[in-house]
Amino acid sequence: MSVRRLHPNQPKTFAFTPQNSAWAQETIAKYPDGKQASAVIPLLWRAQEQHYGWLPEPAIRVVADMLEMAYIRVYEIATFYTMFQLQPVGKLAHIQVCGTTPCMLRGAQDLVAVCKRKISTQPHILSEDGNFSWEEVECLGVCANAPMVQIWKDTYEDLTPDLLETILNGFASGTPPKAGSQIGRIASSPSAGFTTLTDKTIYAGNSGSNQES
Ligand code: FES
């Protein structure tokens, strides 16, 4: 994982849109008195969505002020979680490649090679057209469908280099594929059919009334 620090070029100010501001107040009000700081992650996420997919430093201060938190506390949160982007990202897609052990053993580095070839040789560097960026991150919780990437809020799973190229082409043409497994399995069901609990007699029950005829 790369060093996470604020980008040197920052906007001077940040303000939530009226709509997002109203949403933020509703979100803060969900928490008991004295626990408003619990809203920090959803507010940072909404700020990031509003600001072209990355979180500028003035937004960190705005959120801290809204929640009466010290700036350093919110800065720590923004720099800890890789869900928060601290520098500009691709306009169409920011690819987060999981590089943790299960994905690594299933070919994550081949996916990184695609990103290096198609986007930029280094993570966090925009593609020439500014439409794509990528980085390697730690486990994204979809290990059973390794290797995988996350793009914005969605995960794309059971990948090969060719499948990742298809996904990138889909985003480039405005027709991204459906999220989830890219080999058609449902969630993490066995890719080659069931291999256990296949004896139907075990479902018969004591009376045998549930047996298939
Ligand atoms: S190791 Fe890649 S999702 Fe968990």
- What is the overall mean pLDDT for the chain? 93
Task: Order across the sheet with 132-137: list the strands.
Answer: 132-137, 93-98, 149-151, 154-157, 180-181
Kindly give the distance from the C-alpha atom of residue 211 to the centroid of ligand 1, in angstroms, as a whole number. 40
* Residue 177: exposure state from Cβ atoms within 10 A (0-12, 13-18, ≥19): middle
Strand 180-181 versus strand 154-157 pairing type: parallel
Whether the ω angle into residue 11 lies within 30 degrees of 0, i.e. cis, is: no
Kindly give the distance from the C-alpha atom of residue 104 to the centroid of ligand 1, in angstroms, as a whole number. 8
- Position in ligand 1 atom list of the atom nearest CA 98: 2
Q: What is the average per-residue pLDDT within 151-173?
A: 97
Q: Which two tokens stand for residue 58?
A: 């003035």
* Residue 131: exposure state from Cβ atoms within 10 A (0-12, 13-18, ≥19): middle
Listed by start position, the domains of the chain span 18-80, 93-181
**Amino acid found at 126:** L
Which residues does 135 contact at the CB level (< 8 Å), separation at least 6?
2, 82, 94, 95, 96, 97, 123, 124
pLDDT given at position 138: 95
Give the pLDDT confidence of 115-147 residue by residue, as tens digits. Answer: 999 999 999 999 999 999 999 999 999 999 999
- Position in ligand 1 atom list of the atom nearest CA 108: 2
Kindly give the distance from the C-alpha atom of residue 141 to the centroid of ligand 1, in angstroms, as a whole number. 5
Give the pLDDT confidence of 83-113 residue by residue, as tens digits. Answer: 999 999 999 999 999 999 999 999 999 999 9
Kindly give the distance from the C-alpha atom of residue 151 to the centroid of ligand 1, in angstroms, as a whole number. 14
Which residue out of 83, 95, 112, 140 has the highest number of ligand 1 atoms within 8 Å of its CB and is therefore the one to mutate?
A: 140
Pocket of ligand 1 (CB under 6 A): 98, 100, 102-103, 139-143, 146, 148
Q: What is the DSSP letter of 117?
A: H
pLDDT given at position 213: 42
Q: What is the average per-residue pLDDT within 187-208?
A: 79
Q: Is it the case that residue 209 has pLDDT exceeding 80?
A: no
Instruction: Report the alpha-carbon distance of residue 191 to residue 156 in Å, rounded.
Output: 15
Q: What CATH number has the domain spanning 93-181?
A: 3.40.30.10
Q: HSE (CB half, 13 Å, CA atoms) of 192?
A: 2
Say if domain 18-80 classifies as CATH 1.10.10.
yes
